[in-house]
Amino acid sequence: MQRSGPTPAEGILVVIGVLILYIVIGVTMHLLIGEAGILITQILVLLVPALLFVRLRGYSFTRTFSLRRPTRRGLLGATLLMLGGLPIAWVFTWLQSFVLPVPVEMLEGLTEFLLTDDPLRIAWLVLLVAVTPAICEEFLFRGVVLSSFRGGWKTPTAIIASGLIFGAFHLSPETAFRFVPTAWLGILLAWIVVETRSIWTAVILHFLNNGLILMLTLLPATREMASDVDQDPPWLLIPVAILIFVAGIRVLRQEGRRLREESDADVDDPHPTDPEPEASG
């Protein structure tokens, strides 16, 4: 018999357990086999524990991971939300830099790590920094964590809390500057999953976000802009970004309302297509 769903306490325990495994296994794998260790760690430490937790606890995979197929309206709303939200994240990062300066040497090292013109290397980087995180992180944070928080907390609280944990998970002494933009990304992705009821929508947008950052770093025309820590946000684009962001909110809310009404209708009439019984005699 399947249980109704994970609780907030279980979600927090899963995050703590994954964090311990990530520190122990992740560091070891990276030291032993380099970049391949990063990819393997994401699968073994983020994705596999999330799947095992749901399986062993007897929860519904469909409900916990929101495995509904994406809709066109949901994808449109999510895309608009992210397109508008990314410039806003740039503003947040700029404001944060007055309190927490971006470590220039680390950013330059990251740029060097991503810099290549070898097609095979580019394909590997897409797999490493875009495809694998988009799947593994979504199933853990927008799957188990968000679902567990929604099991005991109000939805806005669950969305914000899961986003903050997502940002905190990416922290290290050298990367503290990433907290605000990463938490903001986590909040947007959680919001997308709640309204679309589809983790695949978040997977697609997560992949596009990471892939865009990678492409901006690889292309000579945008490389300097992507790595310039002293550059101000694109102020002229901010009003446009806000309009796009608001449009995304409206589309997502409409889609969320439609899906809730559809779900309520299914509850009221669980077999709406069943034929009426023929009269006897």
Q: For residue 179, which of 233, 114, 102 has the smallest C-alpha distance?
A: 102
Q: For residue 77, which of 158, 196, 187, 198 has the smallest C-alpha distance?
A: 196
Q: Contacts from 104-109 at CB under 8 Å and sequence distance 24+? A: 104/229, 106/174, 106/175, 107/227, 107/229, 108/227
Q: What is the pLDDT at residue 182?
A: 93
Contact present, 203 and 69 (Cβ < 8 Å): no
The amino acid that residue 265 corresponds to is A
Contact present, 227 and 108 (Cβ < 8 Å): yes
Q: What are phi and psi of 130, to 5 degrees?
A: -120, -55
Q: How confident is the model at residue 248 (pLDDT cuts 50, 70, 90)?
A: very high
pLDDT digits (tens, 9 = 90+) for 32-58: 899 999 999 999 999 999 999 999 999
pLDDT digits (tens, 9 = 90+) for 111-136: 777 888 889 999 999 999 999 999 99
pLDDT digits (tens, 9 = 90+) for 68-112: 999 999 999 999 999 999 999 988 888 887 887 777 777 767 777
Task: Give the mean model confidence (pLDDT) for residues 21-28.
Answer: 90
Interatomic CA distance for residues 46 and 122, integer angstroms:
24
Burial of residue 34 (CB within 10 Å: 0-12, 13-18, 19+) is exposed
Task: Give the mean model confidence (pLDDT) for residues 141-150.
Answer: 97
* pTM as predicted: 0.89
Q: What is the pLDDT at residue 227?
A: 58
DSSP letter at 97 equals: T
Contact present, 196 and 71 (Cβ < 8 Å): yes
Contact present, 209 and 86 (Cβ < 8 Å): yes
Contact present, 242 and 88 (Cβ < 8 Å): yes
Provide, rounded to the nearest whole percent, the portion of the chain with pLDDT above 90: 62
Looking at 65-69, 212-216, 267-271, which range is the least confident one? Answer: 267-271
Look at residue 174 and tell me whether its pLDDT is greater than 80.
no
Look at residue 270 and tell me whether its pLDDT is greater than 60.
no
